[in-house]
């Protein structure tokens, strides 16, 4: 809604609504657009109506929500078959579903977190075909035939992945919201380093990849796609260093006595 | 996000045809920009055509033609694979550095090279659909020109648009005189000089580049050069990683004895297109590569800058970034 918006076009459904609840204003709205006073009036008129609807018709409302949970007949539905943590999944999704929403809302894997939902924070990082990606900017429809690993798929039974264990040892989180993304990112980082992939701070990019050494600067640059609002960065750095070197890195924290 | 139809094709001619007949269809590559824009309702295509199944993913040497001994980079090759290709790292390190300066590892693993060229500006007023923006809605006006324009252009802007192109890769590509190969209707291919690919805003800022509606980028070609031992991409930003450039400079030098034989300088974060610093380049030919000359060249180029209310700092920052990038290039392009 904008004041005096000449570009506004009402859909048939919207016209019907105005015709039902405030017919005296319909002609003016169609020609001049929705003005603030129309909007306020609409709220006043429909606010009461919605309340009544909820009171008398909640049986219908609940039935409605059950229908929308069904996967049958989704508009623009896409059938996808892919592997998640080693298990084959076959579902139909709305074309708009991101991989993140599919994991969380359809497959019950809520380990991957929705932080910004815009590719700016890294909380949704998962590993697809061996590479870390942002599941919030990946359409589920594009995952056909692919293999996805989430935080839930890293441990081997009750045995934690080395990176998970190192994060616990080094207290590499505070609130924990970014942690599953941080760990997935760090696990993929190890593969990238093993493959000799460069970063912006790699001292000599022309040298072959096997000369790569994972310095603190390299870790910081390579993990910059995962934001931690609590600022656990030094401890995340230590956890990654421990897994990379295979040597014990001393804890920098202890319980107060 | 508004509903859209998702379709895929493995045939470029089919994809071109679909773009031709469906005015509201858009291509989907890595999706790192288009999905973000669709969530914000800045873009609302009725159909997304997933072209990641097309075969343009290779990086290969060019054997014949005007760019023989150059290299061809597939439009659908991922940013990460491009930056880590052994030939790119060895012979075109400026390209590898520029790619790695952009975004995050996750995004570079998803993003394609063609998509990098066609990504939209990150002007916050373009992204905010409550604000007027001529790029988003031609004729609506520009909120940035009188708004918070710290991140905006200092070269080539118009009263209708002061947005900048956000890419790092494109800054290296314009410096190295890359060529964009595109496929059009009826299987017709054409080559576009990189400096002609993106455009200045003028009175129609809704057009970021000179690609036709139905055309698809298939390759980016890089001619052979002698810059590999002396090139550097320097990016200056508000935080040291995972941020768009305030100013960036791609610098490449070829020496003859103790004089500069050839030099290429391009800037990012300063204009609606990757900005070639031709005046600075011309000044440096046949000069000795010392700081005094680098400074004179940079000042010459930045003399033409027209900063906005909040980005006057970019003029001095541009000079210093250019001098530093040229100095680093002379030192072998190592990151220090």
Domain with residue B239: its CATH number is: 3.30.390.50
Q: Considering the domain A77-153 in this protein, what is its CATH number? A: 3.10.20.30
Residue B80 lies in a domain: no
A interface mutation test: which of B41, B45, B100, B104 has the most A CBs within 10 A? B104
Contacts of A117 in chain B (CB under 8 A): 39
Quote the tokens at residue A162.
């080395």
Say if the Cβ atoms of A95 and B48 lie within 8 Å. Answer: yes
pLDDT digits (tens, 9 = 90+) for A14-41: 677 667 767 777 777 766 666 666 655 6
Report yes or no on B49 lying in a domain.
yes
Going from the C-alpha of A241 to that of each of A171, A187, A236, A246, B242, the distances in angstroms are 14, 12, 9, 8, 21
Alpha helices in chain B, H assignment, sequence order: 12-21, 34-39, 79-83, 86-91, 93-101, 105-110, 113-118, 124-127, 169-175, 194-197, 278-284, 291-302, 313-330
CA distance to partner chain A, nearest, from residue B151 (Å): 17
The answer to whether residue B238 is domain-embedded is yes
Output the pLDDT for position A42: 60
Residue of A nearest to B1 (CA): A96
Instruction: Give the pLDDT of residue B252.
Output: 98
Domain locations along chain A: 12-69, 77-153, 162-245
* Residue that is written with structure tokens 């924070």 in the block: A121
CB proximity A92 to B under 8 Å? no
Rounded to whole angstroms, the Cα distance separating B312 from B296 reads 19
A-B Cβ pairs (cutoff 8 Å, strict): 119
Pick from B3, B84, B97: which is nearest to A200 by CB?
A: B97
Query: How near does any CA of chain A get to the CA of B129, in Å?
Result: 11
Taking 90 as the threshold, does the pLDDT of residue A158 lie above it? yes
Contact across the interface for B105 and A200, Cβ inside 8 Å: no
From the CA of A119, how many Å to the nearest CA of chain B? Answer: 7
- Distance from the B322 Cα atom to the nearest Cα atom in chain A, whole angstroms: 18
Q: Which residues pair with B191 in a beta bridge?
A: B181
Q: How many folded domains does chain B comprise?
A: 2
Query: What per-residue confidence (pLDDT) applies to A63?
Result: 40
Q: What is the pLDDT of residue B8?
A: 97
Inspect the interface and report whether the beta carbons of A224 and B241 lie closer than 8 Å. yes
Minimum-distance CB partner of A185 among B100, B106, B228: B106
Is residue A196 within 8 angstroms of chain B, CB to CB?
Answer: yes
Kindly list the residues from chain A whose CB atom is less than 8 angstroms away from the CB atom of residue B29: none
Query: Are both A77-153 and A162-245 of the same fold?
Result: no
A135 touches chain B (CB under 8 A): no
Residue B106 with chain A: CB contacts under 8 Å: 122, 125, 132-134, 185, 225
Reply yes or no on whether the pLDDT at A1 is more than 50: no
Q: Of A76, A118, A185, which has the smallest distance from its Cβ to B4's Cβ?
A: A76
Q: Give the chain A residue whose CA is nearest to the CA of B137.
A: A7
Domain interval for residue B14: 5-53
**Separation of alpha carbons A120 and B271, rounded Å:** 23
pLDDT at A221 over 60: yes
Q: Is residue B158 part of a domain?
A: no
Closest-CA distance of chain B to residue A234, Å: 16
- Could you list the pLDDT tens digit for every one of the 336 residues in chain B? 999 999 999 999 999 999 999 989 999 999 999 999 999 999 999 999 999 999 999 999 999 888 888 999 999 999 999 999 999 999 999 999 999 999 999 999 999 999 999 999 999 999 999 999 999 999 999 999 999 999 999 999 999 999 999 999 999 999 999 999 999 999 999 999 999 999 999 999 999 999 999 999 999 999 999 999 999 999 999 999 999 999 999 999 999 999 999 999 999 999 999 999 999 999 999 999 999 999 999 999 999 999 999 999 999 999 999 999 999 999 999 988
Residue A118: list chain B partners with CB under 8 A. Answer: 36, 39-40
The pTM score is 0.88
| CATH class of the domain at A162-245 | mainly alpha
Tens of pLDDT, residue by residue over A42-59, are 655 555 444 444 444 444
Structure tokens belonging to residue A244: 């990379």
Give the mean pLDDT of chain A.
85
- For an interface test with A, which of B47, B49, B86, B105 has the most A Cβ atoms less than 10 Å from its Cβ? B105
DSSP E strands: which ranges in chain B? 5-8, 25-28, 47-50, 59-61, 71-74, 179-183, 189-193, 216-222, 231-236, 247-256, 259-268, 275-276
Bigger pLDDT: A73 or A68? A73
What local confidence, expressed as pLDDT, does residue A19 receive?
A: 74
Subunit contact A200:B241, Cβ cutoff 8 A: yes
Whether chain A has a CB inside 8 Å of the CB on B109: the answer is: yes
CB B6 within 8 A of CB A141: yes
Q: Quote ipTM for the complex.
A: 0.97
Contact A189 B105 (CB under 8 A): yes
The residue in chain B having the minimum alpha-carbon distance to the alpha carbon of residue A133 is B106
Residue predicted with more confidence, B47 or A8: B47
pLDDT tens column, A94-146: 999 999 999 999 999 999 999 999 999 999 999 999 999 999 999 999 999 99
Q: Is residue B15 part of a domain?
A: yes
Distance from CA of A56 to the nearest CA of B (A): 32
Q: Which two tokens stand for residue B3?
A: 């509903």
**What's the farthest any 2 CA atoms get from each other in chain B?**
62
Write out chain B residues lying below 8 Å of A125, CB-based: 106
Report whether B192 contacts B180 (CB < 8 A).
Answer: yes
In a domain, B122, yes or no: no
CA distance B186 to B192: 18
Domain holding B35: CATH number? 3.30.43
Is residue A98 within 8 Å of B35, Cβ to Cβ? Answer: yes
- The reply to whether B143 falls in a domain is no
């Amino acid at each position: 809604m904008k004041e005096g918006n000449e570009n506004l076009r009402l859909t048939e459904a919207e016209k019907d609504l105005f015709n039902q609840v405030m017919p005296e204003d319909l002609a003016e709205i169609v020609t001049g657009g929705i003005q603030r006073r129309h909007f306020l009036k609409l709220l006043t008129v429909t606010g009461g109506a919605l309340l009544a609807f909820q009171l008398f018709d909640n049986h219908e409302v609940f039935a409605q929500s059950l229908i929308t949970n069904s996967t049958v007949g989704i508009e623009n539905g896409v059938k996808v078959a892919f592997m998640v943590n080693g298990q084959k999944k076959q579902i139909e999704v709305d074309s708009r579903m991101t991989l993140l929403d599919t994991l969380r809302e359809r497959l019950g894997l809520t380990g991957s977190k929705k932080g910004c939902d815009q590719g700016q924070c890294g909380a949704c990082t998962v590993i697809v075909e061996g590479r870390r990606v942002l599941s919030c900017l990946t359409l589920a429809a594009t995952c056909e035939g692919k293999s996805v690993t989430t935080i839930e798929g890293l441990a081997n039974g009750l045995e934690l992945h080395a990176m998970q264990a190192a994060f616990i040892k080094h207290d590499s989180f505070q609130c924990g919201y970014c942690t599953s993304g941080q760990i997935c990112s760090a696990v993929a980082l190890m593969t990238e380093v093993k493959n000799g992939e460069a970063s912006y701070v790699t001292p000599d990019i022309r040298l072959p990849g096997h000369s790569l050494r994972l310095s603190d600067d390299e870790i910081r640059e390579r993990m910059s796609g995962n934001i931690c609002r609590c600022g656990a960065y030094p401890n995340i750095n230590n956890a990654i260093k421990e897994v990379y070197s295979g040597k014990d890195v001393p804890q920098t924290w202890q319980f107060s006595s | 996000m508004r509903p859209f139809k998702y379709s895929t094709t493995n045939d470029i001619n089919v994809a071109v045809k679909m773009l031709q007949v469906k005015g509201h269809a858009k291509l989907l590559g890595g999706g790192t920009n288009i999905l973000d824009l669709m969530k914000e309702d800045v873009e609302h295509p009725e159909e997304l055509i997933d072209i990641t199944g097309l075969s343009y993913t290779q990086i290969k040497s060019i054997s014949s033609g005007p760019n023989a001994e150059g290299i061809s980079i597939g439009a659908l090759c991922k940013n990460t694979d491009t930056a880590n290709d052994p030939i790119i790292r060895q012979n075109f390190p400026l390209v590898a550095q520029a790619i790695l300066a952009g975004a995050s590892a996750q995004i570079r693993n998803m993003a394609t090279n063609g998509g990098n060229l066609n990504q939209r500006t990150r002007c916050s007023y373009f992204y905010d659909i409550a604000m007027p923006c001529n790029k988003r809605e031609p004729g609506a006006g520009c909120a940035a020109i009188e708004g918070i324009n710290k991140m905006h252009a200092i070269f080539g802007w118009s009263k209708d648009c002061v947005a900048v192109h956000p890419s790092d890769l494109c800054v290296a590509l314009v410096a190295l005189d890359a060529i964009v190969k595109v496929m059009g209707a009826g299987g017709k291919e054409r080559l576009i000089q990189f400096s002609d690919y993106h455009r200045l805003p003028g009175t129609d800022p809704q057009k970021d580049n000179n690609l036709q509606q139905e055309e698809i980028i298939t390759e980016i070609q890089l001619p052979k050069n002698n810059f590999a031992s002396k090139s550097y991409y320097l990016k200056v930003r508000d935080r040291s990683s995972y941020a768009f450039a305030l100013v960036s400079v791609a610098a490449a030098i070829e020496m003859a004895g103790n004089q500069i034989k050839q030099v290429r300088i391009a800037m990012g974060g300063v204009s609606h297109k990757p900005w070639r610093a031709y005046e600075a380049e011309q000044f440096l030919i046949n000069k000795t590569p010392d700081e005094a000359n680098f400074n004179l060249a940079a000042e010459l180029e930045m003399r033409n800058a027209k900063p906005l209310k909040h980005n006057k700092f970019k003029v001095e920052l541009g000079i210093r970034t250019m001098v530093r990038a040229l100095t680093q290039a002379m030192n072998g392009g190592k990151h220090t």
